[in-house]
């Protein structure tokens, strides 16, 4: 029993992930089904007028209008919950009513056959499953069980006996197909997510890489933030460490400094731009807090026995990521040049002594 429950939880979790990751496609599917249902009820309204079936006409016309209004309201923000919250109850209540009254000489009940496939595969697996399960229980109770007295139409015994089993077959096949589709999409999405992660994360340090920075740069909208701080960090002495202690020591140096950058700027975007260069972008943070974090980062790097040159640029107006990155890089290069000049002077002083 627990294994089955865990399997259901796993499927529901996968479905939630797929819906969130493919929201636009799921919206298109649900919106398409809603419009088709609205159109279907509209067409049936004309047939009901032709057959002078006025009770059915009122219901089909009402459903058509409500579903179309639901689509118009929900499409503004592509609100899946809103479109499902009306689509599912309308289908549930309407077809329950049609089955009970035997609308169109019992023909209306046949529409139930397409409900599981449409609801689970084309709309939403979770909501569609429970709605389809409801209809299965409803048909068994009314056609084969103790609730036959609810029916207001004289279905044939053959129909009463066979239709619930026909619907059960449709329900099982649709559930199987919907679960397979969900798991297939989940597998594809996870694979795509992993490929994107590999393409946007530096494998050695775990930080975002230059590709990720380029994506951020191209999509960045300055109008969405109040301020931006850019900090360029360049490790001092990596070449010398590689030559004197080996590349493993140089890699340890980079990983340690990367870890310190991530720790001091945990809520910000931290990139390894390549080689010994790191870039930090802090959005909507005041200059004082960024400078404090940068000072802490420099102190932690020094405490680890390493050194780095910094260049900072902060703006709350005239924000331009490209220009700010270049300016931070320029300031870093000036500090780096000063570092090596001082180091060379210190060596000469040692030799003179």
What would the pLDDT profile of 177-192 be if each residue is shown by its tens digit?
A: 999 999 999 999 998 8
Q: Of the candidates 308, 299, 212, which has an alpha carbon nearest to the alpha carbon of residue 254?
A: 308
Question: What sign results for the dihedral spanned by CA atoms 163, 164, 166, 170?
Answer: positive
8 A C-beta contact, residue 116 and residue 132: yes
Question: What sign results for the dihedral spanned by CA atoms 102, 106, 108, 112?
Answer: positive
Distance CA(104)–CA(87), nearest Å, equals: 22
**pLDDT above 90 as % of the chain:** 55
* 275 contact partners, CB below 8 Å, separation of at least 6: 238
299, two tokens: 């102190």
> Is the confidence at residue 131, as pLDDT, over 80?
yes
Q: Residue 88 carries which DSSP code? A: H
- Per-residue pLDDT, averaged over 35-59, amounts to 86
Tens of pLDDT, residue by residue over 308-345, are 999 999 999 989 999 999 999 999 999 999 988 887 66
Q: Are strands 307-315 and 228-236 parallel, antiparallel or unpaired?
A: antiparallel
Helix (H, G, I), strand (E, B) or coil at 279: strand
> Is the confidence at residue 253, as pLDDT, over 90?
yes
Question: What sign results for the dihedral spanned by CA atoms 123, 125, 131, 137?
Answer: positive
H and E: helices and strands count for the chain: 12, 4
The pLDDT of residue 293 is: 95
Q: Any idea which residue has 């996968």 for tokens?
A: 14
């Amino acid at each position: 029993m627990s294994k089955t429950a865990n399997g259901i939880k796993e499927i529901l979790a996968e479905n939630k992930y797929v819906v969130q990751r493919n929201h636009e496609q799921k919206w298109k599917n649900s919106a398409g089904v809603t419009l088709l249902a609205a159109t279907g009820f509209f067409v049936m309204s004309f047939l009901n007028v032709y057959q002078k079936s006025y009770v059915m006409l009122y219901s089909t016309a009402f459903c058509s209008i409500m579903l179309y209004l639901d689509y118009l309201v929900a499409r503004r923000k592509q609100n899946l919950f809103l479109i499902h919250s009306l689509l599912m109850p309308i289908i549930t209540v309407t077809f329950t009513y049609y089955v009970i009254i035997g609308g169109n000489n019992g023909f209306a009940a046949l529409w139930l056959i397409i409900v599981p496939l449409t609801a689970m595969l084309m709309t939403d697996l979770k909501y569609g499953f429970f709605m389809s399960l409801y209809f299965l229980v409803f048909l068994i109770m009314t056609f084969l069980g103790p609730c036959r007295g609810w029916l207001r139409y004289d279905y044939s015994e053959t129909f009463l006996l066979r239709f619930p089993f026909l619907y059960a077959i449709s329900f099982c096949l649709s559930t199987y197909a919907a679960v397979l589709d969900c798991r297939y999409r989940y597998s594809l999405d996870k694979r795509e997510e992993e490929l994107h992660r590999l393409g946007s994360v530096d494998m050695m340090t775990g930080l975002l890489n230059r590709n990720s920075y380029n994506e951020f740069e191209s999509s960045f909208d300055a109008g969405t933030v109040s301020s931006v701080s850019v900090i360029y960090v360049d490790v001092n002495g990596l070449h010398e460490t590689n030559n004197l202690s080996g590349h493993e020591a140089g890699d340890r140096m980079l990983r340690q400094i990367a870890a310190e950058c991530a720790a001091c700027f945990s809520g910000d975007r931290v990139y390894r731009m390549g080689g010994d260069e790191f870039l930090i972008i802090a959005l909507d943070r005041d200059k004082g807090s960024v400078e404090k974090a940068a000072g802490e980062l420099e102190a932690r790097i020094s405490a680890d026995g390493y050194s780095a040159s910094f260049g900072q640029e902060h703006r709350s107006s005239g924000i331009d990521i490209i220009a700010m990155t270049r300016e931070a890089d320029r300031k870093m290069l000036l500090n780096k040049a000063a570092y090596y000049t001082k180091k060379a002077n210190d060596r000469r002083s040692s030799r003179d002594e």
